[in-house]
């Protein structure tokens, strides 16, 4: 069986006949050189299916679903609220965070954020590719850029907030299990949170500040480290 996995946004069901878009068709046919009769897997949040190429016409791959390989997953919601950073580091952070199980990305404009515009469409492609590579079914979402006050206001009493804070002395993180609320990690910009922002976050009901390292970490390092710690605790 082929180990090629492709994300497909529309509904999937047994014996479905459909087509891939131009980009995925090119990848499957020209890059991976899969021909008519070849198989691959296709997935979205509702599950994963084995698909067979039934035809290739004008560069577009047509396929039929043969059987369901995996059903819908029930996963813990882990969100990452973060400051946008420079492109290469940004891509790396999204890829590794997706591999580690983040379910939602929330870009936030902080006082010291340097990168103040993002391309959500480009970032979604990176997230999808990381999901395909890491054998995930649930593809994380990414929200539009927002400010800190709106983020905290809109999610009051809706999330358990974990605050990666260089200034706290706390190094212990306790997570109640089971807990239906999403766990949200908040990571600051390269210049750290302003004092006003820090006080605002600490005023959030139930916030858990934690120092994950004595050293000053880059944004992407802090994000990946904190997600790894949380994933480990959740899987104990």
Per-residue tokens: 164: 């990666």
Cα–Cα dist 66/158, whole Å: 40
pTM of the model: 0.93
Q: Are 134 and 211 members of one domain?
A: yes
Please give the backbone phi and psi of residue 206, each rounded to the nearest 5 degrees, phi first: 80, 10
- Which residue, of 20, 37, 71, is where some domain finishes? 71
58 and 143 fall within a common domain: no
Instruction: Find out whether 28 and 8 touch, Cβ atoms under 8 Å.
Output: no
For residue 43, give the H/E element and its range.
Answer: strand 39-44
Residue 15 to residue 30: CA distance in whole angstroms: 25
**What residue numbers bound the domain in which 24 lies?**
5-71
pLDDT per position as a tens digit, 98-141: 999 999 999 999 999 999 999 999 999 999 999 999 999 999 99
**Domain endpoint, select from 46, 71, 96:** 71
The string of pLDDT tens digits covering residues 58-103 is: 999 999 999 999 998 878 899 999 999 998 999 999 999 999 999 9
Res 9: pLDDT: 93
Same domain, 101 and 212: yes
Given 32, 56, 71, the domain boundary residue is 71
* pLDDT for the residue numbered 89: 95
- What is the reported pLDDT for 34? 93
Q: What is the DSSP string of 111-152?
A: TT-S-----HHHHHHHHHHHHHHTT-SSPPEEPPPEEHHHHH
Sign, Cα dihedral of 48, 52, 58, 59: positive
| Sign of the C-alpha dihedral computed for residues 132, 25, 45 and 224 taken in this order | positive
Structurally, how many domains does the chain consist of? 2
Q: What is the CATH number of the domain that holds 120?
A: 3.40.1280.10
Q: What is the dihedral of CA 224, 227, 233, 234, to 10 degrees?
A: -140
Residues 88 and 185 in one domain: yes
| CATH number assigned to the domain comprising residue 14 | 2.40.240.20
Q: Does 94 lie in the same domain as 63? A: no
**What is the average per-residue pLDDT within 29-50?**
95
Is there a single domain that holds both residue 23 and residue 140? no
Residues 91 and 43 in one domain: no
Cβ(37)–Cβ(53) under 8 Å? yes
Task: Judge if 65 and 148 occupy the same domain.
Answer: no
Phi, psi of 74 (to 5 degrees): -110, 105
User: Do 117 and 26 belong to one domain?
Assistant: no
pLDDT in tens, 139-169: 999 999 999 999 999 998 899 999 999 889 9
Asked if residue 29 and residue 14 are part of one domain, the reply reads: yes
**Local confidence band at 1 (pLDDT 50, 70, 90 cut-offs):** low
Task: State the pLDDT at residue 2.
Answer: 67
Angle between helices 87-100 and 120-133 (to 10 degrees): 40
**Is there a single domain that holds both residue 203 and residue 105?**
yes
- For 222, the 3-state DSSP assignment is helix
Domain co-membership, 31 together with 124:
no
């Amino acid at each position: 069986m082929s180990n090629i996995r492709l994300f497909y946004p529309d509904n999937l069901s047994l014996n479905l006949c459909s087509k891939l878009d131009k980009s995925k068709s090119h990848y499957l046919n020209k890059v991976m050189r899969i021909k008519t009769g070849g198989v691959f897997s296709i997935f979205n949040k509702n599950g994963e299916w084995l698909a067979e190429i039934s035809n290739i016409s004008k560069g577009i791959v047509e396929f039929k679903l043969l059987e369901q390989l995996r059903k819908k997953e029930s996963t813990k919601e882990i969100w990452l609220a973060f400051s946008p950073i420079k492109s290469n580091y940004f891509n790396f952070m999204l890829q590794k965070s997706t591999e580690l199980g983040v379910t939602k990305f929330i870009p936030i404009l902080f006082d010291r954020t340097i990168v103040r515009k993002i391309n959500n469409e480009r970032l979604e492609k990176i997230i999808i590719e990381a999901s395909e590579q890491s054998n995930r079914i649930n593809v994380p979402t990414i929200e539009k850029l927002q400010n800190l006050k709106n983020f905290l206001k809109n999610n009051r009493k809706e999330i358990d907030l974990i605050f990666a804070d260089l200034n706290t002395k706390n190094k212990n993180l306790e997570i109640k299990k089971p807990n239906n609320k999403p766990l949200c990690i908040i990571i600051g910009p390269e210049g750290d949170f302003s004092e006003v922002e820090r006080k605002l976050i600490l005023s959030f009901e139930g916030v858990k500040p934690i120092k994950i390292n004595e050293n000053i970490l880059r944004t992407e390092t802090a994000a990946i480290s904190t997600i790894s710690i949380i994933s480990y605790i959740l899987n104990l």
